[in-house]
Every structure is written in structure tokens, then in C-alpha cells.
Amino acid sequence: MTSIDKLDKDDIMDVLEICDCTFDKSFHITKKKLEENLFNTEDYFAEGSFIARGTGGKACGFIGVKVSKEDEIYPDTAWISIFAVRQDMRHEGIGSSLLEHALQRLALHGIKRVYLGQDYNNFFSGIPSPNEENIGFFKSEEFWINDVDHYDLEAGIVTNEKIEDFDTEKFEKNYRIAVYDGQKKELLDFLKREFPGRWEFEAETALADGKSWEEIVLLLSCRTETVVGYCMLDGVGKEYGGLGPIGIAKEIRGKHVGDYILRESLMQLRKLGVKTVNIDWTILKDFYGQFGFEPARTYRGAYRDI
């Protein structure tokens, strides 16, 4: 007999045990990450998060849910942040029961659309390691499944000839790279104009939270000194760092200027002491592949309307 109870932070070690036997180690699900990316977040929806227990109270599955606090960007939206059932207890209706409980609470909360992953501070940007089994499960639960995969890409940058061999000279006549130095209005105006929505919100939030200026790279026009591109980094005090989002103004796309800011951003990560770089949630294997990036983890986007 299986019971479904509210998921509580006190269940974290049971959750971690299920994650350890469900997700590949490359997803780096740790106790600290569960605390920081789920239980301690402002958008964690305790009312719609559940844990399933079998005989003797053994945890056999759980679902962790978040609800959007940003009505302008994600109105009436929720995310299934992390969801797993023990491999040896699948095909017994446990996953369907957990999902049903979560969706019922979300519907009562006024939620209209639920995404798999893709939340702020996410574990996954979609269905992790998509295969016939997990895609089939979500299809049977009336989720719309994207027809293409996307990836986390990784590369080492300490000894990387593709970075060394990149020719910057042809770009330096018109553009220059600068580490952020307090140009908050210029950066946010650029994002509002070119990338309104999530990227703008995340940048503003990061600045408000005290993000290191060394982790923000700007692309400036030599002619006007205006911001025409940016890249966010994660690397202070880390050997394993992150890169992205990265974007340039519409008017200069198609001229490989993105290659230039990408290369210079990798150089900045080197200066910060990073040895390996992760680029998450992307389909641009060729763009990043020019500097040796290869898929490390695979996902498939999915959502359901309630």
C-alpha cells in the first residue's frame, strides 16, 4: 500500500537517496543543491509537492513543484522542478498518483500551464536523459513533448588551442570587450530592447543580489560606446564554471560577432581560474563546438496545460 504525503524539507535525505538511484551522477544532485534549488527558494510550492511511501514507510517517489512569482513573464505558470520514482517501483501508478496530486493543487491555485524543469535555479531544463520510457510516461499524462533535444555542453579551457587560435583582430576595429563596471542602466536598457523577459529579469536580479562584476562581460561599440552584447558568467572561486546567457544586438547578428564575445568570455573565465565550463540549455552545438564544447547532458522540453 502506497501513501502520498506532503513533501517536507525533513524528507531531504529520502529525496537524495531516490535521486542517487535515478539520475546520472553528471546531474550533480546533492543535498546542498536540493536545499538551494528547491526547498529554500521563494517559488517552492510546498502545497503541491509530495512524497510517496510504500511498506514500512520507505520513500519510493517524490515530486517537487515551484510556482511563478513573475506574472509578467510567466503568468499562471508552474514548474515540476524535480520528479522521480524508484526504478524498481515504476509501472505501479506511483508517478501518475504523485503527478495527479500536484496538478490538482496547482489547478486550485489558478495555474494554467506546467513545465517540466525550466524553472529559475533549475535542476533540469526539460526531461533529463530523454528516452522511450520517460517520454512515453509524460505523453500518456497529456504533456506536449518537444520533438528535438537540447543540451548542457562542456569543455576544458585551460589548454584549448581553439581559444588560442581564434583571430580577434578583425572584430577589434569595431568592437571592444569590457568587464562590467557599474553600467547598470546601459545593460538593462540593452536587455529590455533586445531580450525582454527572462534574461532581463535574471540580469536585474543578479545585480540586485550582488553578482560579481567580474562575471559580466560586455560587448561595446567602438563608435558609440553603447552596449551591443553581453555574457553572464559563473566562475568566481570555482574550477567548474558556467557561461550564459550570451547575446548580441539584432543589428550585428550574422557577422560572427557572437564568436568574438564568446571567445573573450572564455578568456575571462580563465582569468577567474575556471578549468571546465558548462553551458546549459542550448541547441547551438556548432556555435559552441567551435571552442571544443560537446554535449554532457541531454534534455527534452515538455509542458502541459491544465
What pLDDT is recorded for position 203?
98
Measured CA to CA in angstroms, residue 61 lies from 6, 54, 116, 137, 203 at distances of 12, 9, 16, 15, 35
Tens-place pLDDT, residues 164-195: 999 999 999 999 999 999 999 999 999 999 99
Check if the beta carbon of residue 38 is closer than 8 Å to that of residue 82: yes
Q: What is the pLDDT along the chain (306 residues), one digit of tens a residue?
A: 799 999 999 999 999 999 999 999 999 999 999 999 999 999 999 999 999 999 999 999 999 999 999 999 999 999 999 999 999 999 999 999 999 999 999 999 999 999 999 999 999 999 999 999 999 999 999 999 999 999 999 999 999 999 999 999 999 999 999 999 999 999 999 999 999 999 999 999 999 999 999 999 999 999 999 999 999 999 999 999 999 999 999 999 999 999 999 999 999 999 999 999 999 999 999 999 999 999 999 999 999 999
What pLDDT is recorded for position 143?
98
pTM (2 d.p.):
0.95
Check if the beta carbon of residue 48 is closer than 8 Å to that of residue 35: no
Tens-place pLDDT, residues 245-259: 999 999 999 999 999
Cell of 259: 564568436
Q: How would you label 219-230 residue by residue, b for 16+ Cβ within 10 Å and e otherwise?
A: bbeeeeeebbbb
Cα 61 to Cα 98: distance, rounded to the nearest angstrom: 8
What pLDDT is recorded for position 92?
95
Q: Does domain 3-151+300-305 have CATH number 3.40.630.30?
A: yes
Q: Does domain 158-274 have CATH number 3.40.50.300?
A: no
Q: Do domains 3-151+300-305 and 158-274 have the same CATH topology?
A: yes
* Domain ranges across the chain: 3-151+300-305, 158-274
Q: Mention every residue, 6+ apart, whose C-beta is less than 8 A from residue 31.
A: 12, 13, 16
CA angle 12, 137, 139 (to 5 degrees): 125
What pLDDT is recorded for position 1?
78
Cα 97 to Cα 281: distance, rounded to the nearest angstrom: 29
